[in-house]
């Protein structure tokens, strides 16, 4: 018999993105956590005091036991070794398949803990509680979970949607300015690929970092919503979701080149955005005024418009590992105009080298 038996996956992943202010411990945790399911919370130790109301809200809402695992995870810790350490923690705590993992921290922590949730016991339900600007507007949304390798950023990972993304903007009240800056690359990227209100708000003013003003509340909500809309139609990044990678082709390569953690993701994506805009001018005729405007935004927010010196040939070599690359070569996300991104292979190495030189 050579008739194929077809298995069509019904793995319908669903993710609810909640955005509020001072709402974390009053959200309906008892309905978010299956009855009697054990909970393992992996939390950035810096936040343990701040999230006490959340811990008690979860413990009050359930009979089952909750284990809190404090774990500092900086960019240079975003490795398979750290994943293995968490596997050991989960083994020690006898984590079972009905356990819900709650990840509380920045984008690096939610990326790594989300990957542990995607792979431990072949997959656990998880909830993301993002506590930085980067995580709230981008990293915790959409289920891209991953760790870095020596060959590149996020090269080992999965698509594993968090059941809930609980974004409480009050968590930003204690966020250091460096961490605010680390999320700005995604805000600028989103404004450029989306156009519309988000672009207009950012074009009109770039409010100071650190105060959660109504302007920031609107920008965060709209950036998060943009990502959710795109993921809704292209979870596995077959086409539109690639637009969210604007500025990341060069950005990730710069992070790898200088050593993870040396350049923040926001700084790297800001520089990568300038490279992508320069290529958009060369390949698609985008007007140079857009890049000049973005340089003004970066300066206003204290992000670099020039990189430390680097070897463009080495950056180009690292970019070859980019996940948008295919056997036939690199794919670039460029802009035809504000709000009008596209994916193209029609970029030659000379144009890339010239665009890279412009940020040196
Ligand atoms: O969610 C996506 O898709 C993105 O590309 C969003 C990016 O801003 C984010 O940094 C993502 O983690 C990078 O994706 P990767 O596939 O280049 O690792």
pLDDT, tens digit (0-9, with 9 covering 90-100), for 294-344: 999 999 999 999 999 999 999 999 999 888 888 888 999 999 999 999 999
Least confident span in 12-16, 72-76, 136-140, 355-359: 12-16
Could you tell me if the CB of 244 is within 6 A of ligand 1? yes
Would you say residue 191 lies in a domain? Answer: no
Q: How far is CA 165 from CA 77, 103, 222, in A?
A: 23, 10, 15
User: Which pLDDT value is given to residue 6?
Assistant: 80
Residue 148 belongs to domain with CATH number: 3.40.50.1970
Sign of the alpha-carbon dihedral angle for 260, 261, 266, 267: negative
Per-residue confidence band for 60, with pLDDT thresholds at 50, 70 and 90: confident
Indicate if 146 and 275 belong to the same structural domain.
no
Atom of ligand 1 nearest to the CA of 237: 3
Is residue 142 lining ligand 1, measured as CB closer than 6 Å?
A: yes
CA-to-CA distance for 77 and 99, rounded, in angstroms? Answer: 24
Looking at residue 354, its pLDDT comes to 97
Task: State which ligand 1 atom lies nearest to the alpha carbon of 111.
Answer: 12
Q: Tell me which residue range forms the domain holding 141.
A: 3-172
The confidence score (pLDDT) of residue 252 equals 96
Residue 61: the pLDDT is 82
Longest Cα–Cα distance in the chain: 69
Report yes or no on 327 lying in a domain.
Answer: yes
- Cβ atoms of 153 and 256 closer than 8 Å: yes
Per-residue pLDDT band at 63 (split at 50, 70, 90) = low
Lowest-confidence range among 2-16, 195-209, 273-287? 2-16
Ligand 1 center to residue 82 CA distance, Å? Answer: 20
Q: How confident is the model at residue 36 (pLDDT cuts 50, 70, 90)?
A: confident
Domain end: 172, 189, 206, which one? 172
* ipTM summary value: 0.98
> Closest residue (by CA) to atom 6 of ligand 1?
244
| CATH code for the domain in which residue 265 is found | 1.20.1090.10
Q: pLDDT band for 50, please (50, 70, 90 cuts).
A: very high
Contacts of 192 (CB under 8 A, 6+ apart): 199, 246, 273, 277, 290, 294, 335, 338, 339, 341
Ligand 1 within 6 A of CB of 75: no
Ligand 1 pocket test: pick from 136, 193, 248 the residue with the most ligand atoms within 8 Å of its Cβ: 248
Residue 215 has pLDDT above 80, yes or no: yes
189 lies in some domain = no
Query: Would you state the pLDDT for residue 1?
Result: 65
Average pLDDT over residues 115-131: 98
DSSP 8-class letter at 136? I
Instruction: Give yes or no: residues 156 and 58 share one domain.
Output: yes
Residue 92 above 70 pLDDT? yes
Q: Do 124 and 252 fall into the same domain? A: no
Q: Which residue is catalytic, options 227, 255, 267, 291?
A: 227
Instruction: Give me the chain's average pLDDT, please.
Output: 95
Shared domain for 137 and 252, answered yes or no, is no
C-alpha distances (whole Å) from 216 to each of 61, 137, 202 are: 32, 11, 10
Cα separation, 101 vs 6, whole angstroms: 32
199 occurs within a structural domain:
no
Hunting for tokens 């953690």 — which residue is that? 261
pLDDT at 62 over 80: no
Same domain for 250 and 167: no
237 is catalytic: yes
Q: What is the pLDDT of residue 15?
A: 96
Q: Is 186 marked active-site?
A: yes
C-alpha to C-alpha distances, 301 to 177, 192, 209, 229, 322, nearest whole angstrom: 10, 16, 7, 27, 28
76 is catalytic: no
Give residue 64's pLDDT band: very low, low, confident or very high (50, 70, 90): low
- CB of 160 closer than 6 angstroms to any ligand 1 atom: no
How far apart are the CA of 245 and the centre of ligand 1, in A? 5
Residue 225 lies in a domain: no
Which protein residue has the closest C-alpha to ligand 1 atom 15?
154
223 Cβ closer than 6 Å to some ligand 1 atom: no
Closest CA to 32 of 115, 105, 109, 101: 101
Q: What percentage of residues in the chain have a pLDDT greater than 90?
A: 89
* Cβ 144 under 6 angstroms from ligand 1: yes
166/39 same-domain check: yes
Q: What is the mean pLDDT of residues 235-259?
A: 96
| Mean pLDDT, residues 192-215 taken together | 97
Q: Of 36-40, 167-171, 202-206, where does mean pLDDT reach its minimum?
A: 36-40
Q: How many domains in the chain?
A: 2
User: Rounded to whole angstroms, how far apart are CA atoms 125 and 325?
Assistant: 30
360 vs 274, 311, 313, 317, 357, CA distance in Å? 11, 10, 13, 17, 5
Residue with the larger pLDDT of the pair 42 and 328: 42
User: Is residue 292 a part of any domain in this protein?
Assistant: yes
> What is the structure's pLDDT at 5?
79
């Amino acid at each position: 018999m050579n008739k194929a038996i077809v298995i069509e996956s019904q793995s319908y992943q669903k993710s609810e993105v909640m955005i509020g202010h001072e709402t974390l411990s009053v959200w309906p945790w008892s309905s978010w956590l299956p009855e009697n399911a054990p909970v393992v919370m992996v939390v950035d130790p810096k936040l343990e005091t701040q999230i006490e109301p959340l811990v008690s809200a979860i413990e009050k809402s359930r009979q089952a036991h909750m284990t809190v695992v404090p774990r500092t995870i900086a960019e240079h810790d975003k490795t398979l070794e750290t994943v293995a350490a968490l596997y050991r923690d989960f083994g020690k705590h006898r984590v079972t398949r009905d356990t819900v993992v709650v990840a509380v921290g920045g984008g690096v922590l939610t990326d790594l803990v989300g990957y542990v949730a995607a792979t431990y016991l072949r997959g656990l339900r998880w909830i993301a509680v993002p506590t930085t600007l980067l995580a709230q507007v981008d990293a915790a949304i959409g289920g891209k979970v991953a760790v870095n390798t020596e060959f590149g950023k996020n090269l080992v990972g999965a698509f594993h949607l968090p059941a809930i993304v609980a974004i409480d903007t009050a968590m930003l009240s204690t966020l250091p300015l460096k961490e605010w800056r680390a999320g700005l690359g995604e805000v600028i990227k989103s404004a450029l690929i989306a156009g519309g209100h988000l672009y207009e708000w950012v074009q009109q003013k770039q409010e100071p970092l650190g105060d959660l003003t109504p302007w920031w509340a609107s920008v965060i909500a709209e950036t998060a919503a943009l990502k959710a809309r795109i993921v809704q139609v292209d979870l596995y990044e077959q086409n539109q979701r690639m637009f969210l990678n604007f500025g990341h082709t060069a950005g990730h390569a710069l992070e790898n080149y200088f050593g993870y953690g040396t350049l923040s993701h926001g700084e790297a994506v800001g520089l990568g955005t300038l490279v992508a805009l320069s290529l958009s001018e060369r390949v698609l005729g985008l007007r140079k005024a857009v890049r000049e405007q973005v340089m003004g935004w970066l300066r206003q927010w204290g992000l670099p418009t020039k990189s430390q010196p680097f070897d463009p040939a080495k950056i180009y070599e690292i970019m070859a590992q980019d996940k948008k690359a295919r056997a036939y070569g690199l794919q670039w996300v460029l802009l035809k105009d504000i709000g009008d991104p596209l994916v193209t292979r029609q970029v030659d190495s000379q144009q890339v080298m010239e665009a890279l030189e412009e940020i040196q």
